[in-house]
Every structure is written in C-alpha cells, then in structure tokens.
Chain A
C-alpha cells in the first residue's frame, strides 16, 4: 500500500530565545541563549528558560486567567502556525482539522498552585477552585486550542515524557495517512517551569543544572555539565498530505520521511543506547535512507552526565563513516523544554534546508572525551556542503525513544 506523503506547511513557536521561527533561528546562529534566574516557590532561585510571547495576541484576558500556561502556549503556537501556513482557515471545515499536542506532563502546575492557595485557608478544600479539573485534564492544552480556534475535529494530547514533541508529529502523520483529518496541528508544549515539583525532582535526582551565568548553565557534551535547565515553550506545525498542500500551492518546509518510536524496557530514568540506536535505524529504514543520507542529527542530550554519553554512543554506532553528517544540540541555548523539546529543536534546524547552516551546540568549553563524536558542531555554526535530511532525536523517562526524519521536499 502506498502511504500518503506528509509535509510541513506551517510553523508556530515560542522558545526562551525567540517567539517566531526567524527570531529563534537567528539566535541559534548568533549564539544567543535565553536562560534566566527565576524565583521558585519553596526553593528560592532556580535557572529556567522563560518565554515572553504575548498571550493576549490571541486570547482574551479572561481566557488567560481561566486557562493554563500550557493552553496559552499551545494557542499561540497553533495560531502562528495556521497563519504561517496560508490556509484559508476561516472557510475550511474545522471538523477535518486535528490537534495533537505532545506533553511531558500536565496538571502539576495547577495542582501545586491550588494546594498553595488552600494552604492560606488552613487547607479547607471549600476554597479549592472549580477551575481545577478543566485546567488539569490531560487534554487541556489541545482542548483550549480547539476552543480558541473553533476546531471541531479531534483534539488531544500525547503523553510521552520528553519524547512528546516528536510524538505529536508522529501521531499527526498517522492520522493524516489514515484519512482521519485533512490538516493536523501538531507538535509539543511545556509549562513545566511553573511547577516546583519538576525542579525539586531533578534536584533530588542530582540532575538540576547550576551555573553562576544562567546562559552557560545548559551545556550538553561539556565535561563540566551538571544537569538540566528546565524550560517552557512550544512548537506546533501544520501538517498536510502532499497532494493537498500542492493543490493549494502551499509553502513546504519539508517532508516527514521517516520515524520510529520504541521503548527501552530497562530503567525508569537511565537511557539505553542500544534501544536508541535501534530507534534511529528503524526510522532510517522507514525513510528508505542510509545513515549517510542524514546531514544533521539533532541530539536529545540534556546535559546530564550519563544521558549525553549514552546518546553519543548510539550516534557513533549508527552514523559511523558518515563524513557529511553533522551532529548538534539545541538545549545549550534554550534548556530542556520538556514536552516541547523535540518539536522546538526540530524547528531550530528546519531552516538549514534553505540557508545550509548547521547551528552549534554551545557552552562546550571542555568537550567530554566520551562525547567526542565526529562532526559535532561546537560553539560556532558551520556551513554544510548541503542539508537534505535532518534526524531529530527525542528521548524520555521510562525509556521512550523517538527519532523523526525530515527530508528537504522534492517532487
């Protein structure tokens, strides 16, 4: 059976260093990071990636008050993606549009806020807000987006730890191929910086980054890396079947050529390079591509001592003898945007099809010898001979792995 080809026709994003694809990309090429120090309930100051998009561009004040931060991020990204796509959105059938939003977690922020609220009333639950349940249901960001854009097709979230951004796109591709929808708005979002539990959990795990200079705290592959900088953000794309996109003369950013998702089944938090390598190989097989056909591998590496080494081991194995394959990482600039990471980091690399540049991994002062894989782009962007395909890794806790391959579009 010949499967439909699925293409990207619109991009909307917010990241700690940019609220549009062009701003984000420019900052990645210019070495501009976006990490700051924020006050965290019960913990004092922590490092975080904070987005400064204007939610009131697409929401009323009441919608912002009643809804969640993840909802606002999702709405902003979806609206921007739809606008960018050039779709005649006003006049199209909204029941044929699907929303598939990857999330690492949802509800922690709102629950923590409410417990804090009732702590001011001697923990009397009659002060617990009636907004709690619509705010914390797992489909919240997708649901708020459907309300905002009046989309009546399927709208839900995909929970896949920090592989979720890729998973939103994978799921959208599958739904488009099944004919369930004609347009998918898909990717991932995160509001995690508003939950002290996320920070405290990483801190207890010994995996929360600290550095006197916030913009140097997230340092994947560096010998002195000391953990994750948690960030918020989002990236949603419009995806369409190729024939539909071509029929309306859409701009095509790239084609999803292959993907794979698998599970380690080995540990709650520790990665498994063998399964990661299997995941990348399976994605290449689905794309009918050789490893050497990939020109950029965007790593998941979060700057934990173990995680970076394990992923480099997997990449070294899969991409041995691939002289034109460059390897980079986006988290040095924006931290780990959790459920948004896969989708946001892909967006940071998509413009490489046009400008031929490969953005670097920054903050690598002393490269960890165990991370010294060939063609790792460090600290400064490089001009590639050509960029025809990007493989985007995103891995998550409980051992979920995803690899997504985007190919330069060509008839």
Chain B
C-alpha cells in the first residue's frame, strides 16, 4: 500500500464517521481537528474502524500519530504493509494484531491525546 492509498483509507473512514464534513480539500499536513469538526469520540471511531475493517491496532500511547493525514500515512502505511506481508507467509506466525490496551474512559489519556490533536 502506498502512502496516498493509506490516506484514502483514512479519508474513507472519516467520511463514514463524519458524514457532514466536506473532505475534498483536507490538507494532509494540517491537523485533522483544525480543519474538520471532529471530537475525541470521533477519533476513537477512527481507531475502532481501523481495527474492525483493517485489523490495524493503534495503541493508546500512539493515538497522537493520527493527528494529520500525513502523520497517519507515515504511521499506518507500514502497519498495512506488514499485514500484507504476514498474509503472504506460508505459515501462520500468530496473531496479526498487536494487542494493546484501550481504555475508553481513561480521561487523562484522552486529554493527552486530544492535546496532541
């Protein structure tokens, strides 16, 4: 997967969770929250959709990596490609999802994450 393809995956997710937003002019280098009406629950939706649709796990400590489309692409593209790589292995090397803790109600972490957004 290329970085541009990765950005499109993220945009497709945002289109679902924030259907009122106009996404044609999203600037890849600007924080998503600065240009779109997204709150912390929406970012949790992005994390959840990455998990459900793409088997991508984003640990809480790395939520800040999703701050902008460029950062998303930097962070997520290797994860997508690792999934592809694993799926091509002849032997099942175990779980493809790196297990991470995900406490929705950990306010401190959410705040920290929000600050980075």
> Mask for A121-149, Cβ within 8 A of B = 1, else 0?
10000110111000000000000000000
Q: Let me know if A129 and B48 touch, CB within 8 A.
A: yes
Decide: A66 and B41 in contact? CB cutoff 8 A. yes
Contacts of B42 in A (CB 8 A): 62
Taking a contact as CB atoms under 8 Å apart, the answer to whether B20 and A127 are in contact is no
Of A65, A129, A130, which contacts B19 at CB under 8 A? Answer: A65
Query: What are the residues of chain A within 8 A of B44 when measuring CB–CB?
Result: 130
Query: How many of chain A's residues touch chain B, expressed as a range?
Result: 10 to 19
Tell me which of B20, B41, B102, B104 contacts A61 (CB under 8 A).
Answer: B20
Contact B48 A127 (CB under 8 A): yes
Interface of A is mostly: helix
Q: Which of B20, B37, B41, B52 contacts A130 (CB 8 A)?
A: B41
B51 in the interface (beta carbon within 8 A): yes
Cα(A127)–Cα(B44), bound, Å:
11
Residues of A within 8 A of B45 (CB): 130
The residues of A that contact B31 with a CB separation of less than 8 Å are: none
In the bound assembly, the distance between CA atoms of A121 and B48 in angstroms comes to: 13
B18 partner residues in chain A, CB cutoff 8 A: 62
CB-based contact A62/B19 at 8 Å? yes
Nearest CB in chain B to that of A131: its residue: B41
CB distance from B7 to the nearest CB of A (A): 21
CB proximity to B under 8 Å, residues A90-149: 121, 126-127, 129-131
> Measured between alpha carbons, how far is A66 from B19 in the docked complex, in Å?
11
CB 8 Å contact bits of A56-68 with B (1 = contact, 0 = none): 0000111001100
Query: CB-CB < 8 A to A121: which residues of B?
Result: 52
Interface residues of A in 5-28 (CB under 8 A from B): none
Indicate if B83 sits at the interface (CB-CB under 8 A): no
CB of B32 within 8 Å of the partner chain:
no
| Contacting residue for A126 out of B20, B37, B41, B51, CB 8 A | B51
Mask of B13-41 contacts with A, CB within 8 angstroms, 1/0 = 00001111000000000000000010001
A10 to B: closest C-beta gap in Å:
28
B14 to chain A, nearest CB (A): 11
- State in angstroms the CA–CA spacing of A131 and B42 once bound together: 10
Contact residues in B for A126 (Cβ distance below 8 Å): 51, 102
Pick the contact of B51: A61, A62, A66, A127 (CB < 8 A).
A127
Contact B17 A130 (CB under 8 A): no
Verify A60–B20 contact, CB threshold 8 A.
yes
Minimum distance in angstroms from A116 CB to a CB of chain B:
13
B-side residues, CB < 8 A to A, are 17-20, 37, 41-42, 44-45, 48, 51-52, 102, 104
